[in-house]
Chain A
Amino acid sequence: MVKSTLYLICSGILILSLSMLLLFSHFSQATGDTENLAGKRQLVSYLGLTDLSLCSEARYTRHPSQADLFSAFQDFPGSFEHFPTGSMISPSPAGFFSRVRVSSQSGSE
């Protein structure tokens, strides 16, 4: 029964390690890194920031919540995607309400 005992001990250590990491994450999330979070919120509020400064190569990846839909194509709809991060971050359609409507010859929409 040596191997099974050894295996159970090793698995127990792994489960314990993972549980500790997850508990650490949970408590770190609960306390919310309060010191920096307050500072970050102050920054966002004062400067009126709307996006993370994550990918700065294109407008729509630097400010995904603010970019217009055409900026994904840069110059014209249907042109090839220029930037690698464009495949990670798509433009947000928030705030656009226009629609394409089709009107039949009888006049009803």
Chain B
Amino acid sequence: MRRQLKILEYTLSSLLRRKYKSFSLIAVYAFTIAVLGSVLFLTQSLKSEATGSLVSAPEIVVQRVSAGRHDLVPIGYAEVISKFPGVKSVTPRVWGYYYDSLVKANLTLIGIGEYQEQLELLDGRLPIKPDECAIGMGIVNVFGPGKGDALVLENSASTSKTFKITGVFRAASNLLTNDLVVLPEAALRQFFAMDSTLATDLVVEVYNQREIKTLAKKIKYHLSDTRPITRDEILHTYETLFNWRSGMMLAVAVAALIAFCILAWDKATGITAEEKREIGVLKALGWETADVLTIKFWEGLVISLTSFLLGVIAAWIHVFVFSAPALTPLLKGWSVLFPAFQLSPVVDFYQLFVLAFLTIGPYLACTLIPAWKTATTDPEQVMRD
């Protein structure tokens, strides 16, 4: 133990002799890990947010596909599906998009039925009358209306329709409701000029959760132009959206990993003349190859462990304290209505372990291999070189 402490003392003195190089190496290394860690934390947290909330998503959504594209579904399909054994209810839904060309924002308009429920995350109440609506916080932030104000939207006939805002969804629900405009279904149907025999899609509720998959197959079999999407598939979409192979990971993490590889490659292929001389002197003084390797091991560990700890802490603060300002532009793209969200800290220990393994391990190897090559060479030869 005392021997190891002395070796560590020597290693730290050696690193401090090249303090500018050592500190800049730690800074670059920590930055790379912070980038990788931020992506890990952000994707894991978004995945957890999605799967946590969407467990109460519709059990089956039935769309109609025409010419390979999503099309309006005839309400008659609801009657066919409701006759299948095990189906509790089939509800036709009306929803769609509204584009504001001035601000260039896309709104999602959703119609609700007559049944009213007091929502915990709604400040105010849901619309009851045809000229009322409830809106998400993103619309408040971009367009500026509040509860009691009027929202004027242009329908497909270019006629302005005024809706009184009766409720605003609270900021805590931003990740779900940011761009929503909730209207009574009849009013939305009229706004979209949608035929009363058609709906955007159908929501199917079943008695037995284990029958969802079978019912989805049955719907597809009997109504071949439909596309049933089960709740598991919705959750699976979000599971895969933010996994290792997701676009987010590919775009950011691969770039950071390549930067790390360049750093490690540079370290592996080149040991400086000063370091070679130092090893030569130590060997000439009677140090064993094993002692030199122990020093180099400590050197690699000091740099990689310090960088890893600093990088992961910086990533945690970046994502969970400052809401990932460096990564959200990637998700935002051209979206005007982008939710301001505060993510709950969620960390996948397995992914963190993989990150540690992928960064600390190769760096240690890259420090030890060239040092071992030099340490096994004759000290006189090393110093002459």
Which A residues contact B (CB, under 8 angstroms)? 1, 3-4, 7-8, 11, 14-15, 17-18, 21-22, 24-26, 28-29, 32-33, 36-57, 59, 61-62, 64-71, 83-90, 92, 94-97
Contacts and interface: CB of A to CB of B under 8 A. Distances in A.
Interface residues of B, number: 95
B264 to A, nearest CB: 22
Nearest to A38: B120
Interface stretch (B167-175, B279-287, B360-368, B375-383): B167-175
Q: Which of B56, B108, B240 has the most CB of A within 10 A?
A: B56
A57 B53 contact: no
Given A55-B333, A56-B337, A40 B176 contact: yes
Nearest to B339: A53
B172 A57 contact: no
Contacts of B335: 55-57, 61, 85
A3 B234 contact: no
Contact of A84 (B12, B121, B333): B333
Interface in B165-195: 169, 172-180, 182
Nearest to B301: A11
B61 interface: yes
Contacts of A95: 63, 216, 220, 227-229, 233
Given A66-B61, A71-B70, A52 B117 contact: no
Interface string B1-29: 00001101100110010000000000000
Nearest to B252: A88
Contact of B69 (A24, A38, A68, A83): A68
B316 interface: yes
B236 A94 contact: yes
Interface string B203-217: 100000000000010
Q: Which of B52, B236, B248 has the most CB of A within 10 A?
A: B52
B332 interface: yes
B95 to A, nearest CB: 8
Describe A's contact surface by its main secondary structure: helix
B317 to A, nearest CB: 8
18 contacts: A1-B6, A4-B5, A22-B349, A25-B346, A26-B347, A29-B344, A38-B120, A39-B120, A40-B176, A41-B53, A42-B56, A44-B56, A46-B117, A54-B338, A56-B105, A57-B335, A66-B70, A88-B248
Contacts of A65: 229, 233-234, 237-238
B110 A83 contact: no
Contacts of A97: 220
B306 A14 contact: yes
B247 interface: yes
B229 A66 contact: yes
Contacts of B325: none
A54 B331 contact: yes
B157 interface: no
B262 interface: no
